[in-house]
Structure 1
């Protein structure tokens, strides 16, 4: 399989619900349960999830040069949800411009190669990545464990 990277792509989402995962939660985070809670939250508020699940991860260093990992799960809704409280954030529009992009199909275990290919090409082209990675899970086949995903990584301007 050949992974092709494209430049200057934009990820634009409307009416998104975001669930940030705190660093303290990462150890005991139950992915399936939390995703189902997000879907229920959307349904209870009279909306419908449209499009696939998006995972946003970013790596930053703090003042002590310690690495911090940030993780968010994003779902797009068919309508605006007002008065979002607690662990969710609502954004009417989420637009991530100037991204390097790679489409991936294969085993979920190898999805990292799409990110790594973007990182290598950015290095070769002397482009500076911001450290964010948006993975759009287009299709996940539980029986074959094959996924289709789009990976977007923003570039510093």
Structure 2
């Protein structure tokens, strides 16, 4: 069965988070970048844990533009980083709208759409920051958790 469950006031908490900004010209190489991130973690005697996280942030100001980041948790902090990486011991995002999408992966964008509609209907202001966690995926079906940060 396909469904999208929605909740309010959820907190996203990730630990030992390695992140990397993805430039628009790199979008075609996402799979390679994910592999490079995982290899970077392993090369520093750590292990990648948990699912891949995608963070989309829309900048504020007169010319807002989306920025994309890939996040990968590790089992420990990595002290020395290459310039393209950033590491947080704890990433905590409080008071989010949350949706769990279960269905065909080519339709997982519906979760974010549903949260935007929910926010509109309940007069909730959103910050423009969206975290998508790719929990489980097989051939075509999957589970994606989406967190949208409130203002």
Q: 1:28-48: CA deviations, max 9, x gaps?
A: 430110000000000000000
1:1-157 map, 5 Å? 1-22=2-23, 26-29=24-27, 30-63=29-62, 66-141=63-138, 144-156=139-151
**Structure 1: gaps of 5 or more residues:** none
**Structure 2: gaps of 5 or more residues:** none
TM-score, length of structure 1 as denominator length? 0.90
SS in 2 for 1:121: helix
TM-score, length of structure 2 as denominator length? 0.93
What count of residue pairs does the alignment treat as equivalent?
149
SS in 1 for 2:3: coil
Q: 1:69-123: CA deviations, max 9, x gaps?
A: 1000000000111021211001101001100001011112211110011111111
Return the alpha-carbon distance in structure 2 between the equivalents of residues 104 and 45 of structure 1: 34
